[in-house]
Structure 1
Amino acid sequence: MAECDDGIRIELAWPRPGGVLRCLLHLPAGSTAADALARAVRSEGWPVDALQGWPLGVFSRRIEPGDVLRDGDRLEIYPPLQLDPKEARRRRAAYPRRSADG
């Protein structure tokens, strides 16, 4: 993305049941991830739970809400895990799959 005359453009992506909410935002240079979330709630009508402290990332790299965004970034909101990966492995190990033979 080319830098805007008045700041930066970012994409915001938030996986939700039924699909991913996406929006393009024009923000002043120096805006943080928290600024982008607040703008999405205020101007795009996103639910306030976008600001509930869920993990954030830019192109799958974890960031903090106070991190400054750059032009062209895709800010991602990561929903909480439904099941811890270690617990999922334990459950699979406790109930081994049956083979096709029997």
Structure 2
Amino acid sequence: MADASALASIHVQVCYARPDKQFLLEQTVVPGTTIQQAIQSSGIIQQAPEIDVSVWRVGIYGKLKTLDTVLREHDRIEIYRPLIADPKDSRRKRAESKDAKKKL
């Protein structure tokens, strides 16, 4: 028979990537835990103090979620860094650069 504490917990991951290092922390939490609670209890903010979930976006498996989203078994919480450059501007500059090279 399964242990009662095992039944009253779910397993999740908290992940965050920066250019020099990636973090993937396994965590066991109680049912009803929110994304914000899991991030705070995971210790990832101590390991990567630049994280600011009050401003940065978070998601589960690539889908944006709010901090008050309740977690389910095997969810992977992803913390997204803010974009440095607008992707549309970057694409436009690359296209202009290719056009300029073709004209030469």
TM-score interval, normalised by the smaller of the two chains: 0.7 to 0.9
Q: Secondary structure at the match of 1:95?
A: helix
Would you identify which runs of 4 or more consecutive aligned residues in structure 1 move more than 6 Å? Answer: none
Q: TM-score by structure 1 length?
A: 0.79
Task: Tell me which protein shows more helix as a share of its residues.
Answer: 2
Task: Assess if the C-alpha contact under 8 Å between 1:37 and 1:51 holds in 2.
Answer: no
Q: Residue type of the partner of 1:79?
A: R
Q: Residue type of the partner of 1:94?
A: E
Q: Aligned pair in 2 of structure 1 residues 31, 51: CA closer, same or farther (>3 Å)?
A: farther
Q: TM-score by structure 2 length?
A: 0.78
Corresponding residue to 2:67 among 56, 65, 68: 65
Where structure 1 has 5 or more consecutive residues not aligned to the other structure, the ranges are none
Is the counterpart of residue 41 in structure 1 residue 65 in structure 2?
no
1:9-88 counterparts in 2 under 5 A?
A: 9-41=11-43, 45-52=46-53, 53-88=55-90
Instruction: Measure the CA separation in 1 of the matches of 2:31 and 2:52.
Output: 21
Instruction: Measure the CA separation in 2 of the matches of 1:45 and 1:85.
Output: 30
Q: Secondary structure at the match of 2:7?
A: coil
Q: Secondary structure at the match of 1:81?
A: coil
Instruction: Measure the CA separation in 1 of the matches of 2:29 and 2:52.
Output: 17
Q: Percent identity?
A: 26
Q: Residue type of the partner of 2:34?
A: T
Number of aligned positions between the proteins: 96
Equivalent in the alignment of 2:3: none
Instruction: Measure the CA separation in 1 of the matches of 2:12 and 2:24.
Output: 10
Q: Secondary structure at the match of 1:50?
A: coil
